[in-house]
A and B are shown apart, each in its own frame.
Chain A
Amino acid sequence: MKKIGYILLREYLTRVRKKSFLLLTLLLPVLIGLFMVAMIVIATQAQEELRIAVKDESGLFEDKFRGLDQGEKLRFEYLTNNPQPLDTILQHYESAGYDGVLYIPAIDLDRPLGFTYYASSEIGLVTEERIEKAISEEIRKRVLERENYNTDIIDKLDKNIDITKVINNEKQDGSAELAAGFGYACGLLIYLFLIVYGAMVMKSVTEEKTNRIVEVLVTTVKPYELMIGKILGIGAVGLTQFVLWGALTMAVQTFIGILLGDQLAAVQTMQAGNGMADASKSTQIIADISTAFQALDLPRILFSFVFYFIFGYIFYASQFAAIGAAMTDDSDAQSFTFPITIPIIISMVLMSVTLEQPFSAAAYWGSMLPFSSPIIMITRIPFQVPWWEQIVSMLILLVSALAMVYVAAKIYRVGILVQGKKITFKEITKWIFYK
Chain B
Amino acid sequence: MLLLDIQHIHKSFQDTFALQDVSLQMESGKIYGLLGPNGAGKTTLIRNITQIFFPDSGTILFKGEKLSEKHQNQIGYMPEERGLYKKMKVGEQLEYFAQLRNFSKQEARRKIDYWLQKMDIESWRHKTVEELSKGMQQKVQFVATVLHDPSLLILDEPFSGLDPLNAEIIKNEIFELHAKGTNIIFSTHRMENVEEICEDIFLINKGRIILEGNVQAIKQQYKKHLIRIELSRPVEWNDALEKDIQLVSNEPHQLIVKLKEPQSTNDLLRLLLQHQVEIAGVAEILPTIHEIFIQSVQEHLPVNTTAS
Contact = CB atoms under 8 A, between A and B. Distances in A.
A342 B207 CA distance: 43
B262 interface: no
Interface of B: 14, 47, 50-52, 54, 56, 72-73, 75, 77-79, 81-88, 96-97, 99-102, 141, 144-145
Contacts of A6: 96, 99-100
B14 A430 contact: yes
Contacts of A435: 54, 56
Contacts of A2: 102
A219 B81 contact: no
A268 interface: no
A218 B97 contact: no
Given A10-B96, A417-B47, A430-B14, A219 B88 contact: no
Q: Name A's interface SS.
A: helix
A223 to B, nearest CB: 9
B88 A14 contact: yes
A216 B174 CA distance: 19
A218 B53 CA distance: 10
A212 B101 contact: no
A215 B72 contact: no
Contacts of B85: 14, 213
Interface in A202-240: 208, 211-221
B104 to A, nearest CB: 12
A64 interface: no
B83 A216 contact: yes
5 contacts: A216-B97, A216-B145, A217-B100, A219-B72, A220-B97
Contact of B77 (A14, A216, A417): A216
B79 A215 contact: yes
Contacts, number: 57
B83 A214 contact: yes
Contacts of A215: 52, 77, 79, 81, 83
Interface residues of A, number: 22
Interface string A88-127: 0000000000000000000000000000000000000000
Interface of A: 2-3, 6-7, 10, 14, 208, 211-221, 417, 427, 430, 435
Kindly list the 8 A-B residue pairs having the minimum CB-CB distance in the complex, ordered from nearest. Answer: A213-B83, A212-B83, A212-B81, A215-B79, A220-B100, A219-B50, A6-B99, A216-B83
A58 to B, nearest CB: 78
Nearest to A213: B83
Q: Considering residues A208, A211, A216, A430, which has the most beta carbons from chain B within 10 angstroms of its beta carbon?
A: A216
B83 A14 contact: no
B52 A218 contact: yes
A219 B99 contact: no
A7 to B, nearest CB: 8
Nearest to B99: A6
Given A215-B52, A430-B14, 12 more contacts: A6-B96, A6-B99, A14-B85, A14-B87, A212-B79, A212-B81, A212-B83, A215-B77, A219-B51, A220-B73, A221-B100, A417-B47
A237 to B, nearest CB: 15
A10 B92 CA distance: 10
B130 to A, nearest CB: 10
A219 B82 contact: no
A216 B79 contact: yes
A3 B52 contact: no
Nearest to B76: A219
A213 B93 CA distance: 11
Contacts of A216: 77-79, 83, 97, 141, 144-145
Contact of B82 (A212, A220, A221): A212
A234 to B, nearest CB: 15
Contacts of A214: 83
A430 B50 CA distance: 24
Nearest to B55: A435
Contacts of A10: 96
Contact of B86 (A211, A217, A417, A427): A211
B45 to A, nearest CB: 14
A435 to B, nearest CB: 7
Given A6-B99, A6-B100, A435-B54, A220 B72 contact: yes
A217 to B, nearest CB: 7
B112 to A, nearest CB: 16
Nearest to A6: B99
B83 A219 contact: no
Q: Considering residues A10, A214, A417, which has the most beta carbons from chain B within 10 angstroms of its beta carbon?
A: A10
A195 B82 CA distance: 31
Nearest to B148: A220
A138 B102 CA distance: 86
A206 to B, nearest CB: 14
Contacts of B84: 211, 213
Contacts of B50: 218-219
Contacts of B144: 216
Contact of B101 (A208, A220, A427): A220
A215 to B, nearest CB: 4
Contacts of B51: 219
A14 B86 CA distance: 12
